[in-house]
Amino acid sequence: MTIDVAVFGAGRIGRIHAANLARQPGVRLKYVVDVNREAAAALAEQHGAQVADVDGAMGDASIGATVICSSTDTHADLILASAAQKKHVFCEKPVDLTLERARACADAVAQAGVVCMIGFQRRFDPTFSALKARVEAGEIGDPEMLIVTSRDPGAPPVEYIRHSGGIFKDMLIHDFDIFRWMLDDEADTLHATGSVLSDPAIAEAGDIDSTAVTIRTKRGRLCQINTARRAAYGYDQRFELLGSAGMLQAGNVRPTEVTAYSKTAVSSDVPEAFFLERYRAAYALEIAHFFDAVNHGKPVRTTVADGMKALELAEAATLSWRENRVVRLGENAA
């Protein structure tokens, strides 16, 4: 049996998901939807698919699943439409920039009984998931402290930042998800601070480019996250988890294993350039996981609820940073 799929968004992440799903046995890319018709046509042609508009794709009863890679402000509508049409949904993060709309999505997919998976691809990274498996196997005893380093090679255009929801929702959302996944615990209090160190225009846009977040969990565990929009040496994605019986680190991935000895240094490659390269395997594995869940009725590893929890942390961090104070999670939940 073959599932026909519609991909929404023919940008770089859409192209990656399209190529990966085209390699899944039992999956056929039928439609590519994008307001940029040229981009849609190019991607469709590459995989023997057709161009459609939203209504056309959503209205086609043969489409069993949607893959949403369009801009963030369209996510919620497309999830709701998919649910209404009883189509399974894979949606890039974030679900939405507001918790209300994210909750509406969660309700809709639950009622429709469709699979809805959020694209926290890091949970599928071979290094990260191997580490998680070892934690679960008890290798380091009780997890106690998580240190997350998450730095981009360079800041996006200020215009992008202006509509991004702020660095905590745009960039740390992944790190907040890693925090919850790795510690298997929820935040009790959170403190966030930050600075603009790379480009004053980011401050003018009301955002920051460097952050330092500390979370204390309900069980008293500690998590520190440091992020920067710009690391001169590239994309830096590491974390380490200290447990009562040992420690596990997830290191960067290098393009090659060449080591060079010169007069002055012993050197190896800088990390993979950016997320498309670093998480290449993770993107392939998450799409396989999604269709495996769809085909065999298995639970997905990254749910809408996970997306909402990460968003809550991003909101708490934004508040903590703005008011320069410790925030208790749920303190505004009256």
271-330 positions binding a second copy, by CB under 8 A: 271, 324-326
Q: Is 137 an interacting residue with respect to a second copy (CB under 8 A)?
A: no
Given candidates 262, 296, 299, 333, which one binds a second copy under the rule CB under 8 A?
A: 262
**Which residue, 19 or 104, is less far from a second copy as judged by CB?**
19
Least distance CB 195 / a second copy (angstroms): 4
Q: Is 255 an interacting residue with respect to a second copy (CB under 8 A)?
A: yes
Q: Is 212 an interacting residue with respect to a second copy (CB under 8 A)?
A: yes
Least distance CB 49 / a second copy (angstroms): 15
Least distance CB 320 / a second copy (angstroms): 9
Angle at 144 between CA 141 and CA 147, to 5 degrees: 120
Least distance CB 232 / a second copy (angstroms): 5
Q: Is 202 an interacting residue with respect to a second copy (CB under 8 A)?
A: no
Q: Is 251 an interacting residue with respect to a second copy (CB under 8 A)?
A: yes
DSSP per-residue string spanning 138-204: TTTSSEEEEEEEEE-SSPPPHHHHHTTT-HHHHTHHHHHHHHHHHHT--EEEEEEEEE--S-HHHHH
Least distance CB 260 / a second copy (angstroms): 5
Binding mask 145-174 for a second copy (x = CB under 8 A): x-x-x-x-----------------------
Given candidates 24, 66, 127, 303, which one binds a second copy under the rule CB under 8 A?
A: 127
**Which residue, 61 or 130, is less far from a second copy as judged by CB?**
130
Least distance CB 153 / a second copy (angstroms): 10
Contact call for residues 90 and 27 (beta carbons, < 8 A)? no
Least distance CB 182 / a second copy (angstroms): 13
Contact call for residues 98 and 73 (beta carbons, < 8 A)? no
**Which residue, 144 or 186, is less far from a second copy as judged by CB?**
144
- Report the C-alpha gap between 136 and 39 in whole angstroms: 43
Helix, strand or coil, per DSSP, at residue 271: coil
CB atoms within 10 A of CB 271: 21
What is the DSSP pairing of strand 63-68 with strand 3-8? parallel
Contact call for residues 34 and 40 (beta carbons, < 8 A)? yes
Contact call for residues 214 and 321 (beta carbons, < 8 A)? no
First to last CA, the chain: 48
Q: Is 41 an interacting residue with respect to a second copy (CB under 8 A)?
A: no
Contact call for residues 140 and 107 (beta carbons, < 8 A)? no
